[in-house]
Structure 1
Amino acid sequence: MKTLYLAATLALATAGNGIAWASAPAAAPSSQAELTVTFEQIEIPEGQILLSLYDNEAAHDANGKPVRGAMAKVEGQAVSVRFEGLAPGRYAIKAFHDVDGDGKMKTNPFGMPLEPFAFSNNARPEGGPARWKGASFDVPAGASETRIAIQ
C-alpha cells in the first residue's frame, strides 16, 4: 500500500493540476531567488523529467499543491530546469523520469514505480515519497543550484 502511495504521490504531484508552470512575476530584484535544478545519472536518454517544487512541509508531505512545476525534455544523461522569481526560503522537489512521455508514472500492479524517480537532496523514499525533513533545502536570494540523481 505504501508503494502505491509513492507512485500516486509522484504522479499527482507532477500532473499539472493548478501548477504555475511559467516563472512568476518578479518581486523586488534584491529579494528574488533563481534556482537551477540539474538531474543527473539519467540512464535512458529519452522522454521527459516532470517535477514539482514545494515551498512548505504541509503541501509536500500531504501531496498538496506545489508552488511550481516543470517539464524538461531528456536528450542525454543530464538535464537542467531553471526557476526564476522565487522567494528565498526552503524548498523540496519531487520528480520522475517519464520515459515513455505519456505524462504519467508507470507502476506495477502493486503500485511500485516502474519509471525512475528522484527527490531533492537525493532523499530516499520513506514508506512512500521522501519526507520534507530529508528533501528540503535552502534557496537564498540570488542564483543557486542543486543536483539530483535520478534513481
Structure 2
Amino acid sequence: MRTLTTLFIALFLSINFSNAQEDTTGQTVTVTINNITNNNGHVLLSLHTKDTFMKGPGIKSVKSEIVDGKITATFENISPGTYAVMALHDENDNNTMDFEDNGMPKESYGMSNNPMSYGPPQFATAKFDLATEDLEMNIRF
C-alpha cells in the first residue's frame, strides 16, 4: 500500500503547470466533472500516454476552478492517439494528493472511462482513442 501511496504522491507532485508556448494544431479533449463535493481548492487534470500514466507528469496539465461543485476543462492541440485523463480534487491547494495513515486517498480523484477499481488505476481501463474530431467526456469522483 505504501508503494501505491508513493506513486500517487510522485505523480501529483510532478504535475507541471507551466505556460510554455503550445502547438496550435490538433484536437481538443474537454472534461466535465459534475459531482465535486465542495468548492474548496481546485481540480488538477493531466493528460497521459501509456508511457506517462502513473509514472510522472502527463503530456499536458490543466488546473480548474470549481464552481457549484462542477468544472469543465479543455486540453487543446492534442495529436491523434491513445490517452487517459487523471483528475484530482486538490481541496487544500497543495498540488499533491493527500493520504490517510493507512495509505487511502483523502481527496477525490477520477479517471477517463470512470473505471471501478480497488487498486491503483490502470491505463488499460482508463484509455481512450482520439482521432480527428474533438472529444468530450465526463469523469466521476
- TM-score, normalized by length of structure 1? 0.81
Summarize deviations over 1:78-126 as a string: whole Å, max 9, x none.
1011111100111101221011222222211122101111111111335
AA aligned to 1:60 is F
Residue 21 of structure 1, CA deviation: 5.4
CA RMSD of aligned residues (A): 2.2
Whichever residue aligns with residue 58 of structure 1, its letter is D
Q: Report the Cα distance in structure 1 between the residues aligned to 2:12 and 2:84, rounded to whole angstroms.
A: 13
Query: Contact between 2:39 and 2:67, CA under 8 Å: does it hold in 1?
Result: yes
Assess if the C-alpha contact under 8 Å between 1:23 and 1:84 holds in 2. no
Q: Which residue number in structure 2 is paired with residue 10 of structure 1?
A: 8
Partner of 2:43: helix, strand, or coil? strand
Matched, 1:60 2:58: no
Large movers: runs of 4+ above 3 Å: 4-11, 16-23
**2:134 match: secondary structure:** strand
Q: How does 1:63-102 map to 2 (within 5 A)?
A: 63-102=55-94
For the residue of structure 2 that corresponds to 1:66, the secondary structure is: coil
Question: In structure 2, do the counterparts of structure 1 residues 79 and 40 end up closer, same or farther at CA, with 3 Å as the change threshold?
Answer: same
Deviations 1:26-79 (A, max 9, x none): 23xxxx111111112111122111122102x23215x13411111111122210
Q: State TM-score, norm by structure 2.
A: 0.86
Secondary structure, counterpart of 1:142 in structure 2: coil
- Paired residues in the alignment total 141
State the shift of 1:134 in Å. 0.3
Give 5+ residue unaligned stretches, structure 1: none
**Contact 2:13/2:95 (CA < 8 Å) preserved in 1?**
yes
Q: What percent of counterpart residues are identical?
A: 26
SS at match of 2:46: strand
- Please, which of 123, 126, 138 is the counterpart of residue 135 of structure 1? 126
